[in-house]
């Protein structure tokens, strides 16, 4: 006969294994049910990004962006894009307003949508002004994610809608109008529509799904003709006309690159890559005083390190599961904050970069607008504008 000690230990071992198995089933079963029953809001495609570039040389991490000062703190929210006329600045904010910044004063110049504002549900009717530009004729051009492309008088605040948001162009809806650029003669406007499937309030779903349904469009202010210049882009975001007015730089956010689309001249209709494999996901592009371009990135692809978005790009099933389990708001907070503003030279080469790891001073950066030796840094969700003195940097 077996000694009683052995009997009890083999019995407790069995109990332990059964308990462990039950616990495993108890934990895995709900996950399986969620996986099988719950619909995922996204239908992601697998796509491949190149291995992120090493963060060295021009991309070497530093703390230079932390030298920025905050302006208008807690007096505005989400000043995505910034433009100036002389020493007067203009920006569009999360509450659907176009603000005029005169010294320390903030004046509401125009309101594009209708109140109420402030919630996710309100955004499509409240409006969300994103890209803003000064035209050669002394007016402002504003791209509102939902409501369309507008001309705004900087003196009176009178608003004229040039392109209606939500309309069908070339068989697809304008669902997420993003940035705008205007030619030197003021005749043509170019603007990005980041997706026909996703709206601005679902931008994380757009990035995660990697939907290739973004477009670049052209609006002729004289003939009022609206045409699609380029399509099948993955989250086309910020844009910038090149000095020759024949091509436009387009930040293709999901792909961590900037494309050059030829909009006039011999190569019209063609596209090539201006800079590939950036160490972050580019937002707006604005000219620098040295003939280059300021590119802003609110999330990076650390190398050395782990880039979650790169990891997920080839694993659509994990993306689906994540979006079954968590809301977009929870996931936005889970993305590591890292602010990076870089000056890219004409040939697509990095000249210098300013970093704020964890976005302690300038968070959620969307644009860097240079004026009189200073960079005015916009944000898509921070309650301030950050300003960085370029002297000695």
The DSSP annotation for 302-352 comes to: -SSS--HHHHHHT-HHHHHHHHHHS-HHHHHHHSPPEEEEEEE-TTS-EEE
Domain hosting residue 318, numbered range: 52-389
- The pLDDT of residue 334 is 84
pLDDT band at 6 (very low <50, low <70, confident <90, very high): very low
Query: Per-residue pLDDT averaged across 39-63, rounded?
Result: 94
Query: Could you tell me if residue 146 is inside a domain?
Result: yes
Q: Is the pLDDT of residue 10 over 90?
A: no
Query: Could you tell me if residue 337 is inside a domain?
Result: yes
What domain count does the chain have? 1
Query: Per-residue pLDDT averaged across 124-144, rounded?
Result: 97
Query: Per-residue pLDDT averaged across 357-363, rounded?
Result: 97
- The pLDDT of residue 166 is 97
pLDDT band at 310 (very low <50, low <70, confident <90, very high): very high
Query: Could you tell me if residue 4 is inside a domain?
Result: no
Query: Per-residue pLDDT averaged across 90-102, rounded?
Result: 98
Query: Could you tell me if residue 22 is inside a domain?
Result: no
User: What residue ranges in 183-225 does DSSP mark as E strands?
Assistant: 188-193, 214-220
- The pLDDT of residue 2 is 53
Query: Could you tell me if residue 270 is inside a domain?
Result: yes
- The pLDDT of residue 278 is 98
CA angle in degrees (0–180, nearest 5) for 289-98-263? 50
pLDDT band at 17 (very low <50, low <70, confident <90, very high): confident
CA angle in degrees (0–180, nearest 5) for 363-368-369? 140
Query: Could you tell me if residue 370 is inside a domain?
Result: yes
Higher pLDDT, 31 or 286: 286
Tell me, what CATH number does 157's domain have? 2.120.10.30
Cα gap 204→302, rounded to integer Å: 19
> CB under 8 Å to 354, separation ≥6 — which residues?
62, 64, 65, 340, 341, 342, 375, 388, 393
- The pLDDT of residue 178 is 98
Higher pLDDT, 75 or 13: 75
Q: Is the pLDDT of residue 155 over 60?
A: yes
Query: Per-residue pLDDT averaged across 86-97, rounded?
Result: 97
Query: Per-residue pLDDT averaged across 136-158, rounded?
Result: 97
- The pLDDT of residue 28 is 77
Query: Per-residue pLDDT averaged across 188-193, rounded?
Result: 98
Query: How much of the chain exceeds pLDDT 70, in percent?
Result: 95
pLDDT tens digits, one per residue of 196-234: 999 999 999 999 999 899 999 999 999 999 999 999 999
Query: Could you tell me if residue 330 is inside a domain?
Result: yes
- The pLDDT of residue 387 is 98
- The pLDDT of residue 5 is 47
Query: Per-residue pLDDT averaged across 176-204, rounded?
Result: 97
Cα gap 59→79, rounded to integer Å: 26
- The pLDDT of residue 45 is 87
- The pLDDT of residue 147 is 98
Query: Could you tell me if residue 292 is inside a domain?
Result: yes
Judged by average pLDDT, the poorest of 21-35, 44-58, 69-83, 291-305 is 21-35
Query: Per-residue pLDDT averaged across 161-176, rounded?
Result: 97
Q: What is the mean pLDDT of the chain?
A: 93
- The pLDDT of residue 13 is 65
pLDDT band at 8 (very low <50, low <70, confident <90, very high): low
């Amino acid at each position: 006969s077996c000694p009683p000690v052995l009997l009890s230990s083999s019995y407790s071992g069995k109990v332990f294994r059964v308990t462990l198995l039950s616990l495993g089933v108890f934990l895995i079963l709900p996950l399986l049910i969620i996986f099988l029953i719950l619909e995922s809001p996204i239908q992601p495609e697998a796509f491949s990004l190149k291995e992120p570039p090493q963060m060295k040389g021009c991309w070497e991490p530093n703390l230079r962006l932390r030298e920025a000062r905050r302006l208008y703190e807690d007096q505005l929210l989400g000043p995505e894009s910034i433009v100036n006329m002389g020493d007067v600045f203009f920006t569009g904010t999360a509450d659907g307003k176009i603000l005029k910044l005169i010294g320390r004063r903030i004046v509401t110049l125009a309101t594009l949508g209708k109140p109420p504002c402030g919630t996710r549900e309100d955004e499509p009717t409240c409006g969300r002004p994103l890209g803003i530009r000064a035209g050669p004729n002394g007016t402002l051009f504003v791209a509102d994610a939902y409501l369309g492309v507008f001309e705004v008088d900087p003196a009176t605040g009178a608003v004229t809608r040039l392109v209606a948001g939500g309309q069908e162009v070339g068989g697809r809806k304008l669902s997420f109008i993003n940035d705008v650029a205007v030619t030197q003669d003021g005749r043509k406007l170019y603007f990005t529509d980041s997706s026909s499937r996703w709206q601005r309030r679902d931008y994380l779903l757009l990035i995660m799904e990697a939907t290739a349904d973004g477009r670049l469009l052209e609006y002729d202010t004289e003939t009022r003709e609206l045409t699609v210049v380029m399509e099948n882009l993955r989250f086309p975001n910020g844009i910038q006309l090149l000095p020759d007015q024949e091509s436009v730089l387009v930040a293709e956010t999901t792909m961590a690159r900037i494309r050059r689309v030829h909009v006039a001249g011999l190569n019209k209709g063609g596209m090539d890559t201006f800079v590939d494999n950036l160490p972050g996901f580019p937002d707006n592009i604005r000219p620098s005083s040295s003939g280059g371009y300021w590119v802003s990135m609110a999330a990076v692809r650390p190398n050395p390190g782990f880039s979650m978005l790169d990891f997920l790009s080839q694993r659509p099933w994990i993306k689906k599961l994540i979006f079954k389990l968590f809301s977009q708001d929870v996931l936005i907070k889970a993305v590591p904050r890292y602010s990076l503003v870089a000056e890219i030279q004409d040939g697509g080469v990095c000249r210098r970069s300013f970093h704020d790891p964890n976005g302690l001073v300038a968070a959620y950066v969307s644009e860097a607008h240079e004026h009189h030796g200073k960079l005015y840094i916009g944000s898509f969700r921070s309650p301030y504008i950050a300003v960085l003195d370029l002297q000695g940097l």
